[in-house]
Amino acid sequence: MSKKPPKSSPPGTPPPGQLPPNASVHKPSPELNPLKETVIPLPKLITPRRVSRSFHDFIEPGHVSIRPADFTMPQNIPKVIARSRVEQVVVEDLRPISREEDERVAVSVLTLMRPNFLEQCLDSILLNTTPLKIVVTNQADYSNENMRVLNKWKDKPFVHYRVNDPRKWPGPSRAQVFELLAEAGYEYVITLDDDCKLLPSAIDELVKAADEHPEFHAISGYLITPGRGDERKYMLGGIKVYHKDINKWIYRNFVWTSGVHETEYICNGFRLIRLDPLVLPDKEFTMGLTDFDWAANARSQGLRLAVCGEAGAYHKFLFVDGEKTALVNPPTYKVIRRNRSEIEKMKKRFAAKWGYRI
């Protein structure tokens, strides 16, 4: 059987794999899809033995912290500093916080990459009778799941929604909220981590303790957290103990007990702070030790701290259809929180500031 002769190419056709001499090469502009480069696949989460399910069992795959192309910033933000190539607005959100006449209390919640925790956290704040303002600060997380939760809440009349873009460290972010609340005339601010779910009337109990004990400048509650096979219940404050073998002070939280008790320090997770006098978190602290530093600063000014055994919250438990499940943080959040070089830098700053190592 004879083979067919190969087809001849038209005159002037370059060899295969080569372009004509005068051909123009089209290179797609990175401006056409600037967000495409920022989508990072999430690593597989390895769950510790004591945790039954992963955070990502409850959210959509591909959860990433990028701004959608059609996202619009909150209105009336006065100062836009710059725009990057991907149209990521750098915002200094200094809008004043409005206060209703009967509001003495504001709850400050910073949120990043934990939308399911955030939703139950905000829901639990409403299980109180104290008139209050909820100040929600979005740390530049524009994922679909996070915005689904925030869009349900940010326009409510008792919510003041803020954006830190790019995100700030917790210390300077909380300091800015404290300043805005003090200017608005609030008496108390309650800091609440977005992975905490308050027990019913927890805020009412904390405010009651503050009203009945004016000698204390700040009072924290207690947490119920996952333990090794069971739950662990402890106060968000305690005393520091010196360990001469390692030449360090160790902060030890009190075990849970009822009543109001004086402490040497209190923690960020769920605490009430008086706004007069105004004691701000150190804006130079980036991560880690911010609560210990704030407590040391308050005590250096002669202010007293306490814990309250009647005001509690669940920590790192997700409640779905009545089932309570212990969860871990998403891997992307852990990358931010476990910056060891930054933590070591803050330990040195703490030691230089207060004269002892922790």
Looking at the domain assignment, is residue 122 inside a domain? yes
Does 79 fall in a domain? yes
Q: Which residue range(s) make up the domain with 60?
A: 55-354
State yes or no: cis peptide before 277, omega within 30 of 0.
Answer: yes
Q: For residue 95, what is the enclosing H or E element?
A: none
Q: At what angle do helices 115-125 and 144-153 cross, to 10 degrees?
A: 20
Q: Which H helix or E strand runs over 298?
A: helix 290-300
Sign of CA dihedral 9, 11, 16, 17: negative
**Is residue 38 in a domain?**
no
All residues at 6 or more sequence positions from 294 whose CB lies less than 8 Å from its CB, including other chains: 279, 281, 282
Q: What is the pLDDT of residues 238-277, one digit of tens each?
A: 998 887 777 888 889 999 999 999 999 999 999 999 999 9
For residue 213, is it within any domain? Answer: yes
- Lowest mean pLDDT: which of 74-78, 173-177, 310-314? 74-78
* CATH code for the domain of 186: 3.90.550.10
CA 314 to chain centre: 16
> Across all residues in the chain, what is the average pLDDT?
79
Q: What is the DSSP letter of 156?
A: S
44 part of a folded domain: no
Residues 6+ apart with CB under 8 A from 192: 107, 108, 109, 121, 125, 198, 269, 270, 313
pLDDT tens string 130-154:
999 999 999 999 999 999 999 999 9
Query: What is the C-alpha to C-alpha distance for residues 65 and 75, in angstroms, rounded to an integer?
Result: 21
Q: What is the pLDDT of residue 5?
A: 55
Instruction: Give kind and range of the element (H or E) at residue 290.
Output: helix 290-300
Is residue 10 domain-resident?
no
pLDDT above 70: residue 333: no
Residue 68 lies in a domain: yes
| pLDDT confidence tier of residue 19, bands split at 50, 70 and 90 | very low
pLDDT at residue 83 is higher than 60: no
In a domain, 26, yes or no: no
Number of domains in the chain: 1
The pLDDT score that the predictor gives to residue 93 is 77
What is the per-residue DSSP string for 170-205? HHHHHHHHHHHHHHHT-SEEEEE-TTEEEPTTHHHH
pLDDT in tens, 187-238: 999 999 999 999 999 999 999 999 999 999 999 999 999 976 678 899 999 9
